[in-house]
Structure 1
Amino acid sequence: MVATNLNPPTKGYEFLGPPGAFLITVGVPTMTYALYFGCSETSGGCLAPLNTLWPTASAAVSDIAWWKSLFDKDAFLLYLAWYAYTLLTWLILPGDWVDGVVMRDGNKKQYKINAFSTFLLTMGIVSGYIYRFGPQSFTFIYEKWVGFVTASLLMSIFQAAACYAGSFAPGKLLALGGNTGNPIYDFYIGRELNPSIGSFDLKSFNEIRPGLMLWVLIDISMVCEQAVRRGGIPTDSIILVLLFQLFYVVDCLYNEPAILTTMDITTDGFGFMLAVGDLTWVPFIYSLQARYLVFNQVELGPAYTAAITAVNLLGYYIFRAANGEKNDFRNGRNPKNLKYMTTERGSKLLITGWWGRSRHPNYMGDLLMALAWSLPTGFSTPVTYFYVTYFLVLLIHRQRRDDENCEKKYGKDWHKYCEIVPYRIFPYVY
């Protein structure tokens, strides 16, 4: 009876149910490869001529040699070594143990916080390596790009399959949205809430370690590749992309405890959706702009550099200020004396400050930063703006999921709150 109460069958679907889950499971790897083969030196540019896309793609997928070329043994072994390194540093580097939120079984998981120190160690090692052996020694990620993508996909599939199989063991706490009984959907969305081995929590580990840190290493490899081609000095555009994305990652790692209250950690199960998102999509899609600038070099000049920097700083200010207000309020502090409404459940919802301007002001800041990462590539192709476009769709979907959950949780109080704060992300727009 207890297990039934804790793990009720999921009654509804997201992502259009099993057909949608299957299409996304196939579509994410397909899109990752397509963004490389459709925007690279090997394809002749970005975007390749439309009249050649289908004949080229059809010829490739019908050739067994092309399929074999997706796997690179050296890249696979290097990727496994990288994942093992991040796991080892989690284990041996010191860090505080922080409580997560109370789960519905009444327990709290503890999470080891040492991602920032892991990143500092990694940057020290990489910097020393490049200083000793030169930038040409760190161009291997660019050269073996497809192999690294395949390695990360294989790791994602392996983890998702292992966690799905392990979720049927007795005593597992399942995600409320991942217990439908349909294997395609549950494999994708994630059946078990917190797959763990002892004190090691796989979901939170993947969230900000192997993929997020690899994203920066990829950017550094792109800068090294461009510097080698130019004989020493990379362009201001690729440096700007590196600095923006480096700053974003450093901020996330430094504020590691903040992820413990996100929907990914508290609500979603760990399945293929999170595995492939963390390990493949983040490092290899988010670094598209840096990879593009290797072979399509753009010189911005001081004026454009300053303008793009201003967009990024504005986005970061909104993102950090909004999250700061929320975190202060959740922890019982209200230094700005912000107004709030109290629901019948006793919960308090902010209605002034950034959270009075829209229901998700942090998303607005995130999107401005995403735009700033694409602007250094110029306007010769729409492909380098794929990330900000995708991110807009993702955040709107996430906002709608959050609003639906809040409506179930707060009922008529949520409708009252929406009248006070009518805009969802962008004030006066949406």
Structure 2
Amino acid sequence: MAKEEKEFGGTLGAIGIMIFSHFIPFYFALSLQYNSGGLYFPSSINEFIENFKETCSPTWSNFFLYTGFFVIQLIFAAILPGLEVKGLPLPTENNRQYTYKCNALSSWYLTLIVGGILHFTGIFRLTILADNVGSILCVAVIFSDILSVVIHFYAILTSQTCRMAHSPIYDFFMGVWLNPRIRILGQDVDLKMIAEVRLSWLLLFLLIVSAALKQYETFHTVTWPMIFILTAQLLYINACMKGEECIPVTWDIFYEKWGWMLIYWNLAGVPFVYAFQAYYILVNCLRTGKPNENVSMIFIIILFIVLFIAYYIWDSSLSQKIRFRMRQQGIYVTQHGFPQVPWNEIKNPKYMKTECGSPLLIDGYWKYCRKPPYTADICMATCWALSCHQWTGALPYFYPIFFFFMIIHRYTRDMARCQAKYGKDWTIYCERVPYAFIPGVI
């Protein structure tokens, strides 16, 4: 078996990322609790420990809340109706093509309906999430770490590993199992896809809805910055659900292994780090008692305009590329989830033939730059942070900065992988499409 080349700075880089990834969501939780989302500087270790215990101690009730959500989504994935979609042939498994049941849209709608009924009937108030966000975060971190260990060693013991670097910590970080699946109620459920598409984004949206409901219950209004965050996340998450049939052919499913990096960030990192702006808005409204103070409606309108343009480019450009790839592989299928934005598919697209057999799209957005959705994604992330403009804190801007460097790193990984795969054809392609992110600029 070929030895995998190390990325992210190898073993030391993996250790550093794991430590930082554990630190940042807890730091955010403590900053929200003790400094309204501002920089948090405890006066001593003892103060930090006491603050941590008070804010982030896991409880059995929050354990059952978090794991219950996890189990319910797995059951939904097994029983709800959805398209059967074939993935790409996997070289590491003799070109086997897995079948994916794409029913995220059904799960998304059902979760929203059930959540709404439970909240408004008083059976389960969604504001419980906002009241216990630090404790639920701790449960999510512990759960994801334990799951990472179980998945890692189960894959090794059952000989389901691939592309290992034979460096224990690095392999644990990157993963050793490409397609972990479990059987639920007679159906195969792909854990990596469920975690990436549903567990992360659905929990994130519920956390943001909880913050908005908490604001409404306190002030009898939902402020425009909170409405903006809700709208932005609703668009983003709905797009992931409505286009789930496109995901089996993406790099995350086709190539990335399900190790600590994906498990932790999907189950703990994404929901709690990405929800920070909503909770920053909430705690600062609670602190000042004046939810609409210093809100610039002109600025909010500009943010909405930029958001809608960036979202449109992001959604339609991803759809163009992935649907082109699906047609080339003969696995094209679509469920037409709402909304289907204009120009999400190119009729008779132009493409460049390559010696390795995989064509390169040079039409639509993709004739202008190599990564149009990356640029749109960064714009949306920046808008999320700018929605907190009425206060002067720095932490809301962590996410777009972090996301920018993550995207740049992913871009370099993409380029290296494509250069190795396409060889001289990739050089020709880059000459034909010379810009990476913004046509005529960079």
Q: 2:353 matched to 1:362?
A: no
- In the other structure, the counterpart of 2:114 is 125
Asked if 1:376 corresponds to 2:387, the answer is: yes
Offset from partner CA, 1:323-351 (integer Å, 9 cap, x none): 23213432149845544322222332233
RMSD in angstroms over aligned alpha carbons? 2.2
> Partners in 2 of 1:31 and 1:414 — Cα distance?
38
Whether the 8 Å CA contact 2:56–2:138 is kept in 1: the answer is no
| 1:79 maps to 2:81 | no
Over 6 Å off, 4+ runs: none
Letter in 1 for 2:6: Y
Following superposition, the deviation at residue 29 of structure 1 comes to: 1.2
Alpha-carbon distance change, 214 to 45 in structure 1, aligned in 2, over 3 angstroms: same
Aligned pairs, number? 412
CA offsets, 1:60-108, max 9 Å, x none? 4556983995222221111111111111211222223211111112211
Query: For residues 77-226 of structure 1, what are the structure 2 equivalents within 5 Å?
Result: 77-104=64-91, 105-133=94-122, 137-174=125-162, 176=163, 179-198=164-183, 199-226=188-215
Residue 19 (structure 1) aligned with residue 19 (structure 2): no
Alignment partners' CA distance in 2, 1:311 and 1:372:
8
Unaligned runs of 5+ in 1: 1-6
Kindly indicate whether the alpha-carbon contact (under 8 Å) linking 1:363 and 1:425 is maintained by their aligned counterparts in 2: yes
Q: Give the Cα separation in 2 of the matches to 1:362 and 1:68.
A: 37
The CA deviation at 1:172 is: 1.6
Select which of 308, 322, 337 maps to 2:303.
Answer: 308
Kindly indicate whether the alpha-carbon contact (under 8 Å) linking 1:86 and 1:118 is maintained by their aligned counterparts in 2: yes
In 1, are the aligned partners of 2:30 and 2:55 still within 8 Å (CA)? no
Identity %: 29
**What is the aligned counterpart of 1:349 among 344, 360, 368?**
360
Deviation at 1:418, TM superposition (A): 1.3
**TM-score, normalised by the number of residues in structure 1:** 0.90
2:244 to 251, 256, 268: 256
Q: Which amino acid aligns with 1:364?
A: T
> Residues 390 and 69 (structure 1 numbering): CA distance in 2 closer, same or farther, change over 3 Å?
closer
Distance in 1 (CA, whole Å) between partners of 2:309 and 2:214 is 30
> Which of 398, 406, 413 is 2:425 aligned to?
413
Superposed displacement of residue 243, structure 1 = 1.5
Contact 1:314 1:368 in 2 (8 A): no
Tell me the alpha carbon deviations over residues 246-286 of structure 1, each in whole angstroms, 9 at most, x when there is no partner.
Answer: 12101111111121122211111111100011011111011
Q: For residues 65 and 236 of structure 1, what CA distance do their matches in structure 2 show?
A: 31
Alpha-carbon deviation of 1:170? 4.5
Q: Aligned pair in 2 of structure 1 residues 419, 250: CA closer, same or farther (>3 Å)?
A: same
CA shift for structure 1 position 386 = 1.4
Distance 1:117 1:338 in 2: 31
* SS at structure 2 position matched to 1:101: coil
Instruction: Give the secondary structure class of the aligned counterpart of 1:46.
Output: coil
Output aligned runs, 1:215-294, within 5 Å: 215-230=204-219, 232-294=220-282
Which residue does the alignment assign to 2:338? Answer: none
Q: Which amino acid aligns with 1:9?
A: K
Deviates more, 1:91-100 or 1:17-26: 91-100
Going from structure 1 to structure 2, the CA distance change for 1:170 and 1:66 (only over 3 Å counts) comes to: closer
Please say if residues 156 and 276 of structure 1, whose CA atoms lie closer than 8 Å, have aligned partners that are also in contact: yes
